[in-house]
């Protein structure tokens, strides 16, 4: 279980599972997960606890993160 606390527009996660990094991009949240065989990202809509889309797996962490950002750029942030 992950507890998220918002203090002065900064989100802190307590109990975050190992192997998951969070990237905040244009008020969207991207979780970057290391799994097998490579990297995967989950894209969360602003202020939503449920992810909207998942970027296909890839061997390069930077590439899947950039692909997630491109998906966000193609959608209007609501």
Domain ranges of the chain: 18-73
66 pLDDT exceeds 70?
A: yes
Other beta carbons within 10 angstroms of residue 77's beta carbon come to 11
User: End-to-end distance of the chain based on CA atoms, in angstroms?
Assistant: 27
Gap between the Cα atoms of 35 and 44, Å rounded: 19
**Per-residue model confidence as pLDDT tens digits over 2-52:** 566 677 777 666 655 556 788 899 989 999 888 777 888 889 988 888 888
Top-confidence residue, 17 or 68: 68
Q: Where residue 78 falls among pLDDT bands split at 50, 70, 90?
A: very low
pTM, full prediction: 0.66
pLDDT at 25: 92
């Amino acid at each position: 279980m992950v507890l998220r606390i918002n203090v002065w527009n900064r989100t802190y996660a307590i109990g975050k599972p190992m192997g998951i990094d969070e990237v905040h991009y244009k008020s969207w949240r991207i979780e970057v997960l290391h799994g097998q065989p490579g990297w995967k990202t989950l894209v969360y809509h602003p202020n939503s606890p449920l992810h909207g889309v998942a970027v296909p797996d890839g061997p390069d962490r930077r590439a899947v993160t950039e692909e997630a950002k491109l998906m966000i750029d193609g959608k209007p942030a609501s």
